[in-house]
Amino acid sequence: MKRRTLLKAGLGGVGAAAVGTGGTFGWWWSAADIDTVGRVEFNRRLVIPPLAPARRDAEGRKVFELRAAPGKHRLRPGRRTATWGINGPYLGPTLRAARGETVRVNVRNELRETTSLHWHGMHLPARMDGGPHQPVKPGETWSPAWTIDQPAATLWYHPHPHGATARHVYRGLAGMFILDEPKTEPTGPGDRALPSRYGVDDIPVIVQDKRFDDANQLDESHPRMSEVGLLGDVICVNGTTGPYHPVTTERLRLRLLNASNARIYRFGFDDDRPFALIGTDGGLLPAPHRTTRIQLSPAERAEIVVRLRPGERTVLRSFPPDLGLNVWDRRFAGGDDALGILELRAARALQPSPRLPDELAAAPALATRTAAVDRKFDLTGFTINGKSMDMRRTDFAVDLGATEVWEVTATDGTPHNFHVHDVQFQVLSVDGKPPPPELAGWKDTVHTRPGVPFRLAMRFRDHSDRTMPYMYHCHILYHEDQGLMGQFVVVEPGEKPGRPGRAGSGGHGHH
């Protein structure tokens, strides 16, 4: 925490003038921001991750096969980069399933070290969650199975090995998991009117930042002045640098996923055109929210619909994000950065798209803004409530069927966010006020601005297990790896939690 010591000595709040007068601090300051706007040559067609093939087994389950292995991928022109991937050299295929389907995923580890795969945003039993208690050793296959029981949403999967998540995600182990509503059941007007042809007018946009060395290999070093971990100066979308996407329809749905280790993006278009935010982490919003910016911290998702005219081009950018930090902390956390992300190129003739409906989905209604707080969480340094993660400690137990209100506050002036496994939550209030429209739907991750309490309501409606925990943690992966994480179990009312276990024993899906 060298930089924190400097801040306490009085350098933190004085701004660029105080640190930019020359010498070491002046160099650090002048080199700390990144601006690629107008400097990116969008000359590589955006790669669309393939839909993962699936088969039906004898029990009628939808079975996916995933294989994590090292590879080499041309992330940018020049020498190929050593990477990790799933069913390929970098990233993984898009998994797709509908509510009510039972899925089984055979996860084969062909790396030289233990990893895992966590189904981020998924409601499922703790033993199938893919957290640090479900390690997959080299040469092993882990085969979780569960029934999809939540609304249509854009979820994702990524490793969650204890203390090594940042490195595994950075090297390329991640992919989307899209949930749909059953085709056999009637859908609302929102579902029918939304762009939904994968790869045509419904596009995954997995955004990551990278740093490269002179040999075109990934630079995994931790910047000296950064307390958030690695911030890259090259943007990859679906593993493509300098990407463009040819648009053939009047409206385009972009499923934005911040799959970066630490960077917070504030997405918008270079011409400030408005777009409709239609969904966030856990599914559709109550109504489209028309805006020109949407900010996503690591692991957050947003579904937006943008309209284009024939023949025009526009660039999706990241504008300097609102981090709520002082001028020094903001700069070294990426808060002054402006980045070119993806160019959209409309064809000379575009297929017509239906207008968006005025209503999309029911709003979360678990509790009111004045509901009593059940638990408080203070995020500071690498601790939650003064404790660092301990795999052997269960921090608390929640009764099956309970609805709880958690108040989460980042108290140390460092960028944090907060993610809870198993549940999608309702944001009740931000600093005591009603949440803004972009937080009006189901969420599983939220950016916690320093000193601002967030009240979250969540229901633990099934999947009890007294020994197998779920995680709650900061999704800035350096923070998570350093211990900014805790774990809880869901128990039957009156039941006591047991000692945290591992899914690798007792026949829980390894072979």
Amino acid (1-letter code) at residue 351 = Q
Work out the pLDDT band at 441, boundaries 50, 70, 90.
very high
- Rounded CA gap, 235 and 232, in Å? 7
| 144 contact partners, CB below 8 Å, separation of at least 6 | 104, 105, 107, 119, 124, 127, 128, 130, 134, 509
- What per-residue confidence (pLDDT) applies to 25? 52
Quote the mean pLDDT of the chain: 91
Mean pLDDT (whole number) for 371-384 = 97
Measure the CA–CA gap between 496 and 490, rounded to whole angstroms: 10
> In the predicted model, is pLDDT for residue 9 greater than 80?
no
pLDDT tops 50 at residue 7? no
DSSP one-letter code for 147? E
With cut-offs at 50, 70 and 90, classify the pLDDT of residue 508.
very low
Per the CB < 8 A criterion, the answer to whether 381 and 480 are in contact is no
**Per-residue pLDDT at 15:** 43
| Percentages of the chain per state (helix, strand, coil), in multiples of 5 | 10, 40, 50
Torsion sign over Cα 94, 364, 465, 496: positive
Q: Which whole number is the average pLDDT over 3-20?
A: 40
Q: What does the DSSP assignment read for 177-245?
A: EEEE--TTS---HHHHHS---BTTTEEEEEEEEE-B-TTS-B--PPPTT-SS----SEEEETTEESEEE
pLDDT at 335 over 70: yes
Work out the number of other CB atoms within 10 angstroms of the CB of residue 273: 14
Mean per-residue pLDDT, 352-362: 96
- The count of other CB atoms within 10 Å of the CB of residue 224 is 9
366-290-239 Cα angle (round to 5): 90
Residue 507 has pLDDT above 70, yes or no: no
pLDDT at 421: 98
In the predicted structure, residue 21 carries a pLDDT above the cut 90: no
pLDDT-derived band at 28 (thresholds 50, 70, 90) equals: low
Q: How far apart are CA 113 and CA 139, in angstroms?
A: 9
Write down the pLDDT at residue 214.
Answer: 94
Percent of the chain past pLDDT 70, that is, above it, reads 89
Task: Let me know: does 333 contact 323? Beta carbons within 8 Å.
Answer: yes
Identify which of 457, 402, 398 has the alpha carbon closest to the alpha carbon of residue 425. Answer: 457
Alpha-carbon distance 149 to 339, whole Å? 37
Determine the average pLDDT of the residues in 92-110. 98
Q: What is the pLDDT of residue 12?
A: 41
Mean of the pLDDT values across residues 385-402? 98
One-letter amino acid for residue 29 of the chain: W
Characterize the bridge pairing of strands 234-237 and 55-56: unpaired
Round to whole Å and give the CA distance between 212 and 235: 11
What pLDDT is recorded for position 14?
41
CB 484 within 8 A of CB 474: yes
- Residue 209's φ and ψ, nearest 5 degrees, are -110, 145
- Residue 289 pLDDT > 70: yes
Q: Is the pLDDT of residue 23 over 80?
A: no
How is the beta sheet containing 283-291 ordered, strand by strand?
240-241, 234-237, 202-210, 251-258, 301-307, 275-280, 283-291
Return d(Cα 80, Cα 385) in angstroms, integer: 44
156, 87, 440: which is closest to 301 by C-alpha? 156
pLDDT band at 402 (very low <50, low <70, confident <90, very high): very high
What's the CA gap between 333 and 329, in Å, rounded? 6
pLDDT at 30 over 80: no
- Residue 200 per-residue DSSP state: T
The model's pTM = 0.93
Chain centre to alpha carbon of residue 404: 23
The CA distance from 368 to 131, in Å, is: 31
How far is it, in rounded angstroms, from Cα 264 to Cα 477? Answer: 12
| Distance (Å) of CA 428 to CA 278, 398, 436, 450 | 19, 20, 10, 18
Q: Which of 21-35, 310-324, 455-469, 493-507 has the lowest mean pLDDT?
A: 21-35
Mean pLDDT for the stretch of residues 454-460: 98
> What was the pLDDT predicted at 17?
41
- 304 φ/ψ angles, rounded to the nearest 5 degrees: -125, 155
pLDDT tens, position by position, 233-265: 999 999 999 999 999 999 999 999 999 999 999
What pLDDT, on a 0 to 100 scale, did the predictor assign at position 26? 58
- 9-18, 94-103, 253-262, range with the lowest pLDDT: 9-18
* β-strand partners of 90: none
**pLDDT (0 to 100) of residue 226:** 73
> Is the pLDDT reported for residue 492 higher than 80?
yes
Question: By the 8 A CB rule, do 134 and 469 touch?
Answer: no
Q: Per-residue pLDDT tens for 31-74?
A: 568 999 999 999 999 999 999 999 999 999 999 999 999 999 99
Two tokens, residue 420: 């809870």
Residue 502: which pLDDT band, with cuts at 50, 70 and 90? low
Model confidence pLDDT, tens digit, residues 127-144: 999 999 999 999 999 999
CB atoms within 10 A of CB 8: 10
Say which range, 29-43, 315-329, 366-380, 461-475, has the weakest mean pLDDT.
29-43
Residue-level pLDDT at 443: 98
